[in-house]
Amino acid sequence: MITTAVVLAGGKGTRLRPLTLTMPKPLVPVGNIPILDHILALLQMYGFEKVIIAVNYLGEMIRSHILTNIDKYDMEILVPRIRPLDTADAVRKLRKFIDNDFLVVMGDVLTNMNLRQFAEYHEKKGGMATIALIEVPSLLDFGAIIMGENGKIIHFIEKPNTPEIYIISLAYTRIPRGLSKFYSNLANTGFYALSYKILDILDDNPYLMDWGRHVFPWLLENDYEIYGWDAGEAYWTDVGRPFNYLNANFDLLSGEISPLKPYGEEKDGIWLGRNIEIDENVVIHPPCALGDNVIIEKNTIIGPYSIIGHNVYVGEGSNIERSIVMDNTRIESFVNVTYSILAKNILIRKNAIIKGFSVIGEGVTVESKYIVKPNTVLQPHSYVAPVNAGEKR
């Protein structure tokens, strides 16, 4: 039985900037729980006993987070100090910690895939690798797979840049004679079940750096068997862009990623942390989540689909709708926030307005009466204020 997993948690998360300028993507919270912690909870749920986390960008933050929270998990969790050049190279450099067949999982995506069924499918097929696949409407952002009805992968296209490239690649694919049915709308999730023998291949071919671009095409060219496992109706999303990140939080609140759930205890569609102070005439529209040590002053409206982080203060008469407010942020009185993401340690002065699809980086100060226009991105530790005493509301 496969009980070891390697978690890839070294990416820079550039598409999620400015959030990831000061925080590694695996630690970005979804439902007040870091993405990485959701993945670890899933691994523990499905009986994995040893987890090796490969870090790189802002890796010490991840290592510190794991050491602080290690007692939450009934698994051996290792965060070795390595300098991987890419995803396959990370596994190559972790070889001494791997003893048998293993899983490789992404530490910066959100999923509820049944990882035990995935591992058992790999063991049953006995191939060199098995890739977890999910059906998506468009393959342009994902590695595309062509799979026969026996589950064997025929062709692999790593993130085709245009529909034309994808179609041309299909046209030149050698479909085995006698294959009556194949599937080409399945995306690579970045979750792999691998034979222990693949470590020898990585060592013997040091130029194989990335799983999608290098390793899997090489395996197919050299007649190794790769299988695909269809994750079916499982939830899977890459929270790589702000819009996707917002939707992932909304999906978690809605229960679409069960058994994963937000932080706290649920009551009537509202997830509550500890030591929360809610004043009179506060309206909270479910679904919502409030972290620990949250203070909400009177006549405030929260939700629906809003997540308030730990140690957040929300002043009198404010309105926060369909938005994420991360830890240690202070929102003063009569502030309106809609469809936006506020990182940690932000100060929003009274009567400010944050309009839709804005992303506010860590440590930003928004002065009183300032209007953040739709689709605005404010870089970390910036300061914005009205010109000549303020914009008219």
- Three-point CA angle 24, 28, 31, nearest 5°: 165
Q: Which residues contact 157 (CB under 8 A, 6 or more apart)?
A: 139, 143, 144, 145, 146, 165, 166, 169
Max mean pLDDT among 132-141, 234-243, 336-345 falls in: 336-345
pLDDT of 71 reads: 87
Q: Transcribe 180-226 into DSSP letters.
A: --EEEEEEEEEEEEE-TTHHHHHHH-TT---IIIIIHHHHHHTT--E
How many CB atoms are located within 10 Å of the residue 44 CB?
Answer: 16
In tens, the pLDDT along 274-333 reads 999 999 899 999 999 999 999 999 999 998 999 999 999 999 999 999 999 999 999 999
- Confidence bin at 152 (pLDDT 50/70/90): confident
Q: Which residue has the tokens 């509550």?
A: 272
Q: Please enumerate in sequence order all residues whose Cβ is within 8 A of that of 17, keeping only pairs 6 or more positions apart, or say none.
A: none
Q: Give the tens place of pLDDT for each residue, 115-134.
A: 999 999 999 999 999 999 88
- In terms of Cα–Cα distance, which of 126, 102, 95 is closest to 200? 95
pLDDT band at 160 (very low <50, low <70, confident <90, very high): low
DSSP letter string over 20-72?
GGSS-GGGSEETTEEHHHHHHHHHHHTT--EEEEEE-TTHHHHHHHHHHHGGG
- pLDDT tens-digit readout, 69-111: 988 899 999 999 988 889 999 999 999 999 999 999 999 899 9
Please give the model's pTM, rounded to 2 decimal places: 0.88
Q: Return the pLDDT at 208.
A: 93
Are 208 and 164 in contact by the 8 Å Cβ rule? The answer is no
The Cα angle at residue 147 between residues 95 and 256, in degrees rounded to 5 = 80
Residue 331's pLDDT is what? 98
pLDDT, residue 186, reads: 75
Per-residue pLDDT band for 165 (boundaries 50, 70, 90) equals: very low
Round to whole Å and give the CA distance between 355 and 320.
11
- Which candidate, 323, 342, 311, 335, places its Cα nearest to that of 253? 323
Angle at 83 between CA 82 and CA 89, to 5 degrees: 95
Q: What average pLDDT does the chain have?
A: 89
The correct answer on CATH 3.90.550.10 for the domain covering 4-242 is yes
In this prediction, residues 198-206 reach a mean pLDDT of 95
Report which DSSP code applies to 237: E
If phi > 0 it is left, if psi is from -120 to 50 it is alpha, else beta; for residue 64 that is: alpha
Higher pLDDT among residues 13 and 31, named by residue:
31
User: How do the domains of the chain map onto residue ranges?
Assistant: 4-242, 266-389
- Judge: domain 266-389, CATH 3.40.50.10320: no
Among 133, 110, 140, which residue's Cα sits nearest to residue 235? 110
Overall average pLDDT of the 363-367 stretch: 97
Structure tokens belonging to residue 167: 């179609």
Instruction: Report how far residue 344's alpha carbon sits from residue 91's, in angstroms, rounded to the nearest whole number.
Output: 32
